[in-house]
Amino acid sequence: MGIFPNRYGLSPAECSRYVSTVRLDRSSLGGQLCPGGRHILCDPSAKYRSIDGSCNNLENPHWGSAFTAYNRILLPEYTDGIQSPKKEFGVHALPNPRLVSATLSSRRTDQQDADKTLAFMQWSRFVSHDLSFTPTRKMVWTKAPIRCCEPDGNWLAPRYVHPDCQAIRVPDDDTDYSQHWVRCLDYVRSMTVLRSDCSLGPAEQMNQVSHFLDASNVYGSTQADSRRIRSFEAGQLRVARHNDRDYMPRNTDDDDLYVSGDQRINGDVQAAAMQTLWLREHNRVARALAKLNPHWSDETIYQEARRIVVAEIQHVTYHEWLPLLIGKRYARTIADRLPRNQSDDGLYNENSEPGVYNEVATSVLSFAQSLRQGSLSLVPEDDDAQKSNESLIELAASFYKPRLLEDAETLDGLVRGFARQSSRKLDLSLVVDLSSQLYKTNDSAAGLDRLSFDIQRGRDHGLADYNDYRHLCGLRQAKSFDDFLDHTPGDVDLVVGGLAERSIEDAAIGPTFGCLIAAQFLRTRRADRFFYDSTRQPKPFTTNQMAELKKATLARIFCDNGDNIAKMQSNVFLKPQVRNELQSCQNFDAIERIDLTKWIENIAY
């Protein structure tokens, strides 16, 4: 970060600290625009969480709601202390993002994880999409997207470069891009929003979904999104029927795309497959509740089914995914603080702000991209290896083609592939589909580079250096890096340093990312009044209902919501092996199913 004083004699860091003491909530501007300035009426006895996350915290009803600022683990580091990102030129220059990515990718090892599956990778993406979605800036008057490069990958003429552009320069000798004469990769700065405490600055980026683990990617984070995907009949979500199967409804503006709570699911066929399973799960639960409680209204059925689906997602995340991601030691740190019984008030703390950490949303959760495979096996029911090798979808061929799902056997093939195909090992090397072909279309000379984008976004958001987070987590700071482009450890971006770390003990990630994710998911649990095992919510689940919800597994979701899935291992994040063998989906002892009769109203309440 810059250390030179400005004309007032303050360094950028001092300037940043000073302007942060200036409050806007008592000004005419702040009264209208500050999160706390918006008057929200909350019903303390409301049984169900809101769609946008508001009113979760009754004292601060805007906390955790959509379109509010991320929180920070460390103070932002902008070159000017306010909003100017670190750059590759000028004072305190940082290495070019594409050069870093290309250099690291040149050491591609293509290591496969011996134990973890693509389900582990895809759940990591699913959770990331539930917690965060950072919008980019648009043209002020037209709201049109900002273009920073020519369609052929060349630079725009200087007079056409928008101030919010931070396009990534492609080196002249780039192995992947030079053959297409690509010199410029698009990057538009993220949208900012007033800080949650309504102080003046430095810049904070916006999260346009709710900050809670609340299935916002399934149900949406605005009333408009919610209404668009509901049928308003028997608590169901809208579907499109194809070959007697339910899929997400079509987008009226583009029939090749789906409509859902999160439009990112159209980006590739794997994201669309997972979203389809949860759409079907909601409707399956809603149908069962309607039969058990025929007097319930559409709204009651929808809300009760939504509560159950959110609980399933939270249980899978905390009890199946997190222990494998951060290791049992870190997972125990979170679990030991969870309520032991229904009489316990639980972990909820009304003084804990639920805002997702900028560092986690921007850099840490992007680790999932490293785990992705370029070729997706469509695994047949008999698990014939030869047939799996013959039936493949190339990842790049599925970008913005989600309706590939509707081809015969594709959804089930992908679901079995989730559970049986290995993920790649965590490292700095991404498959070529992501390192130079990301979202490539017929109209573009080449695709984007995911790692370059993540590096540039971390700088745009003013994230501190990797070493600063190691220090925060009580780890020894890195002193040197071999072959790191003539730069020092103080230049290393968080996403690069975190991906470069060796995984610890029984975790899938290294100590810095593990530390930050543990902090995030403790906060995500602690600040959510409606967390599924919280007794502080107006309508806690009963003891019998909680016992059923704790049976939730992703394996059962796969079994119940595929087209014709007959076998599955009980833990789909790990490959079939001893003590995790493939079982019949009809074996409810091995792969338990939630007994929804515990929701019959005259029994449950």
Specify the pLDDT at position 341. Answer: 42
Report the distance separating Cα 1 and Cα 5, nearest Å.
Answer: 12
Would you place residue 344 in the very low, low, confident or very high pLDDT band (cuts 50, 70, 90)?
A: very low
Does a structural domain hold residue 279?
yes
Lowest mean pLDDT among 154-163, 331-340, 442-451, 485-494: 331-340
In the chain, % helix, strand, coil (3-state, to 5) comes to: 40, 10, 50
Using DSSP, state whether 177 is helix, strand or coil.
Answer: coil
Are 289 and 391 part of one and the same domain? yes
* Token duo for residue 478: 């890195």
**21, 118: one domain:** yes
Dihedral sign for Cα 15, 17, 19, 21, please. Answer: negative
What is the reported pLDDT for 526?
Answer: 93
* 3-state SS assignment for residue 240: strand
The total domain count for the chain is: 2
In a domain, 515, yes or no: yes
The confidence score (pLDDT) of residue 17 equals 72
Is residue 519 very low, low, confident or very high in pLDDT (cuts 50, 70, 90)? very high
The stretch 229-243 carries a mean pLDDT of 97
Q: Is residue 253 part of a domain?
A: yes
Say which residue, 271 or 343, is predicted with more confidence: 271
Question: Is the domain of 199 the same as that of 121?
Answer: yes
Is residue 587 scored above 80 in pLDDT? yes
Examine the domain organization and report whether 98 and 164 are in the same domain: no
**Residue 147 maps to a domain:** yes
Q: Give me the CATH number covering residue 550.
A: 1.10.640.10
- Predicted confidence (pLDDT) per residue in 432-451, tens digit: 898 888 887 666 667 889 99
Give the residue-averaged pLDDT of 17-28.
Answer: 67
For the record, the structure tokens of 542 come out as: 């009963």
Mean pLDDT of the region 453-473 = 95
Q: b/e for 311-336, b at 16 or more Cβ within 10 A?
A: bbbbbbbbebbbbbbbbeebbeebee
Beta-ladder partners of 377: 392
Tell me: do 69 and 120 sit in the same domain.
yes
Q: Residue 381 in contact with residue 417, Cβ under 8 Å?
A: no
- Give the end of a domain, one of 152, 174, 189: 189
Domain endpoint, select from 189, 204, 229? 189
**Is 90 exceeded by the pLDDT of residue 369?**
yes
Q: Write down the pLDDT at residue 264.
A: 96
Q: Is residue 426 part of a domain?
A: yes
Q: What is the average pLDDT across 37-41? A: 72
Q: What is the pLDDT of residue 148?
A: 92
User: Do 443 and 486 belong together in one domain?
Assistant: yes
Give domain status of residue 286, yes or no.
yes
* Under 8 Å between Cβ of 493 and 458: yes
Question: Mean pLDDT highest for which of 100-109, 154-163, 330-339, 441-450?
Answer: 154-163
Residues 195 and 168 in one domain: no
Query: Is pLDDT of 5 > 60?
Result: no
HEC secondary structure over 307-357: HHHHHHHHHHHHHHHHHHHHHHHHHHHHHCCCCCCCCCCCCCCCCCCCCCE
**What integer is the mean pLDDT of 546-561?**
98
Q: Say if residue 489's pLDDT is above 90.
A: no
Residue 67, phi-psi category: left (phi > 0), alpha (psi -120 to 50), beta (remainder): left
User: So which residues are the catalytic ones?
Assistant: 129
Mean pLDDT of the chain: 88
pLDDT band at 339 (very low <50, low <70, confident <90, very high): very low
Long-range contacts of 388-394 (CB under 8 A, 24+ apart): 388/417, 388/421, 393/269, 394/433
**Residue 605 falls within a domain, yes or no?**
no
Residue that has been written with the tokens 């906390």 in this structure: 63
Closest listed residue to residue 88, CA positions, set 75, 70, 76, 101: 101
Q: What is the pLDDT of residue 444?
A: 64
Per the CB < 8 A criterion, the answer to whether 163 and 137 are in contact is no
Confidence of residue 27 (pLDDT cuts 50, 70, 90): low
Per-residue pLDDT reduced to its tens digit, 90-145:
556 789 999 999 888 776 667 898 999 999 999 999 999 999 999 999 887 777 88
Q: Domain range holding 240?
A: 3-135+190-599
Assess whether 518 and 468 both reside in one domain.
yes
Choosing from 146, 173, 189, the residue where a domain stops is 189
Question: Residue 604 domain-assigned?
Answer: no
* Residue that has been written with the tokens 């968080």 in this structure: 494
Residues 171 and 103 in one domain: no
Claim to verify: residue 127 and residue 177 sit in the same structural domain = no
**Local confidence band at 419 (pLDDT 50, 70, 90 cut-offs):** very high
Given a contact cutoff of 8 angstroms between Cβ atoms, the answer to whether 239 and 279 are in contact is: yes
Does 142 lie in the same domain as 9?
A: no
pLDDT above 60: residue 338: no
Q: State which amino acid sits at residue 333.
A: T
Tell me if residue 204 falls in helix, strand or coil.
Answer: strand
| Direct distance between the N- and C-terminal alpha carbons of the chain, in angstroms, rounded to an integer | 58
The pairing of strands 204-207 and 192-193 is antiparallel
pLDDT of residue 321: 97
pLDDT in the model for residue 12 = 72
369 with 400, same domain: the answer is: yes
Pick the closest to residue 402 from 261, 237, 284, 255 (CA basis).
255
Amino acid in position 454: D
